[in-house]
Amino acid sequence: MAGAKIGQNHQVPHATRRHLLRLPVLIGVLGCLAACTSDSDGATPTTEATIESTPATDAPVASTDPATTDAAPPTDPPVTTAAPEPVTEMTVVDNPNSSLSAQLEFELEPAAIITVTAVSGDHIVAVPPTATAHSSVTIPMVGMRSDRTYAITASLSDADGADLGALDAEFTTGSIPDRFVPFDFESDPSRTAPGYTIVEMVELRDPASITPARPFDEFQYLIALDNDGEIVWYYENGPVIGGVEQTTDGTFTSYYWPNGIREFDMLGNEVGDWIAPLEAGVIPEPPEQNTATPTVDAIDPVPLMSDTFELTHHEAYRTVDGNYLMLSTTNHGLTDEQRATLCPGDDQPFTVLSDVAVEFSPDGEVLRTWDLWDVIDVEEVPGDELCSEIFEINGARDWMHANAVVYDPDRDAVIFSARHTSQVVAMAHGDELGPQTELIWTFGDNGTMPLTGDGPRYQHAVEVQDDGSILLFDNGNGRPGTAPGDPVNPPYSRAVLYDVDDRSEDPADWSVTQLWEYRSEDVDGEPLFAPFIGDADRLSNGNVLITNGGADFMNPTSFLHTRIVEVVPDGASGGEVVWQLDAGAPGQFVATYRSERIDSFYVGPEWAPLD
């Protein structure tokens, strides 16, 4: 595999750049003429190319010869006014949210379909053509690498494909922010799935500081890598962001600690904010932001219309129907007898924090809810952490700790990953609005279906495949037959694929079968064990992207780090690594919640496919 080591870059401040170009169009004669210059003293450069129209010279003019003085009185000649030449402009403007991207502002007459490319050496960024012709539009320029000067060309055409000329400009990208951690990278681009890999990164001062009330002591940020391992995009705004998903419109959604959902575009501008009705004082204030990056303009958040749940965690995304699905919590009381049965010898009064999935509309109306408390009996399935005060927030203990929820349209089901009970849980979506209480099935510990193979332990990130099978990241905490420090049977994490056969009308015929697994090696060559966070995603070419985001968490003989691999699956177990990223080192603890491969930043109805 070809390899490249990416070190830490340092941001070089640069003044805001606005490059203005104007292009007169000579319709039917010369096409388009373009010119572009820039001032060398750093002032705002403006370049104009103009062609003056020449007044007509063959218009009739009254004679003033004395020999004709007895003729009719002279009259004023007819006035001929030349049509104004259309002027075409492209302005290149810095993006204050990221030094790697820009905004291209167009004023066009006539309207044109616009196709943009940016070239720096051997690196080319191709923006798809606009789907329709525009006379006034702003196009984001995303995908460039740091500390480079790009030649930008905007090719113009009409709806029939006729060439209307081109506009040219230059743009110099800035540096990567100083606080971004270094990483090692290698890949075989000929075998990787195309696109960009978005990685959720955070550097921790002390892994022991992580608690449910304060998940991190530094701000997370997002980076996007091309398949050569170069950072071509980043986003950093606010405290904890995660579970990032691209929408069908090309925007991104994320949960936003402690009680919000954020949607933002590829330039880092907020599109929407939604907040759950968090009770004051439940969660401590987040740490102060430790970054020099400007904060995007805030917009008014939309409150969710409910007082039955609070907090937002782990998952929040826009579904294909335009509504939003997120994970929240509800609080349930216990009797003294129940507490004594569940946690013998524990005389501390506590309530149960249950996970609830919430579907809501863009205006904040809660449409449906799915509370795991309604379908799983806490006395029959108490999980492994209910009696642990580590997972307690103000007297409420985290019972199932759901860390993922997805909607499966084929099953019309909402499917949870419940970490502390090592279960995957499917509930009916339901046609009626309101609380939903129908359990379809569970698998894993105390499952309703028989399972062939090894069940998941403390898993993350359930993903439903096209054939109905389920891919997930199996952290492996407490896996039977393994133990920390055991040289023969050490704990390990894995990506695992299960076939869920629930097609029969008789649930007694349903079953689960393990189809494939992949276990990563750690930096020391031993089995990799990532006891918290993680992700596994199927890619467009069939490969699997596996995020070991919390490797060696709290391991006294090692250090917290991230290893992300893209694997070509082979048989029932294993595969070949064709893409790998490693971040973290002794004294520099790095964690990654999830990573996602996107085909393009330019997604949505406003873009036509590239040829």
DSSP 149-183: EEEEEEEEE-TT--EEEEEEEEEE--PPPTTSPPE
pLDDT of residue 210: 75
- Residue 139: is its pLDDT beyond 70? yes
Compute CA distances 542 → 79, 383, 568, 575, 584, whole Å. Answer: 71, 34, 7, 12, 28
> Are residues 89 and 21 in contact, defined by beta-carbon separation less than 8 angstroms?
yes
Query: Would you call 501 helix, strand, or coil by DSSP?
Result: strand
The amino acid occupying position 136 is: S
* Cα 107 → chain centroid: 31
For the segment 263-267, the average pLDDT, to the nearest whole number, is 95
The band of 29, judged by pLDDT with boundaries at 50, 70 and 90, is: very low
Of all residues in the chain, what percent carry a pLDDT higher than 70?
Answer: 81
- Specify the pLDDT at position 160: 92
Burial readout 198-213 (b: 16 or more C-beta within 10 A, e: otherwise): bbbbbbbeebeebebe
Q: Residue 447's pLDDT band (boundaries 50, 70, 90)?
A: very high
Confidence check: pLDDT of 429 > 80: yes
Report the half-sphere exposure of 542 (CA within 13 A, side-chain side): 9
* Res 30: pLDDT: 31
Nearest to 140 by CA among 602, 600, 598: 602
The answer, yes or no, to whether residue 431 has pLDDT greater than 50, is yes
Q: What is the pLDDT of residues 542-594, one digit of tens each?
A: 999 999 999 999 888 899 999 999 999 999 999 999 999 999 999 999 999 99
What is the three-state SS of 399-457? CCCEEEEEEECCCCEEEEEECCCCEEEEEECCCCCEEECCEEEEEECCCCCCEECCCCC
Q: Say yes or no to pLDDT of 278 above 70.
A: no
297 or 333, which is more confident: 333
- pLDDT tens-digit series, residues 142-183: 999 999 999 999 999 999 999 999 999 999 999 999 999 999
Running DSSP on this structure, what letter comes out for residue 52? P
Please tell me which residue, 308 or 325, carries the higher pLDDT value: 325
Q: Give the pLDDT confidence of 34-53 residue by residue, as tens digits.
A: 333 333 333 333 333 332 33
Average confidence score pLDDT of the chain:
85
Does residue 536 register a pLDDT over 70? yes
Nearest residue to 32 (alpha-carbon basis) of 109, 122, 135: 109
pLDDT in tens, 183-205: 999 999 999 999 999 999 999 88
- pLDDT score at 414: 98
Q: Tokens 């109306």 — which residue?
A: 365
Contact 78, 59 (CB under 8 A): yes
- Higher-pLDDT residue of 137, 393: 137
Question: pLDDT of 63-98, one tens digit each?
Answer: 333 333 444 555 566 665 555 566 689 999 999 999
Which of the two residues, 218 and 601, has the higher pLDDT score?
601
* Residue 21, pLDDT above cutoff 50: no
With beta carbons less than 8 A apart as the criterion, state whether 233 and 223 touch.
yes
Closest C-alpha among 286, 295, 229, 237 to residue 262:
237
Domains of the chain: 1-36+84-176 (2.60.40.10), 183-598 (2.120.10.30)
Task: Give φ, ψ of 435 to 5 degrees.
Answer: -65, 140
Please report the pLDDT score of residue 275 as a whole number: 87
**pLDDT of 238 over the 50 cut:** yes
Phi, psi for residue 135 in degrees, rounded to 5: -105, -30
CA pair distance 423, 449, nearest whole angstrom: 11
pLDDT at 312: 86
Asked if 354 and 327 count as a contact pair (C-beta separation under 8 A), the reply is: no
Computed on alpha carbons and rounded to an integer, the radius of gyration of the chain in Å comes to 30
Give the span between the Cα atoms of 32 and 20, in whole angstroms.
Answer: 16
Is residue 31 predicted with pLDDT exceeding 90? no
pLDDT of 260 > 80? The answer is: yes
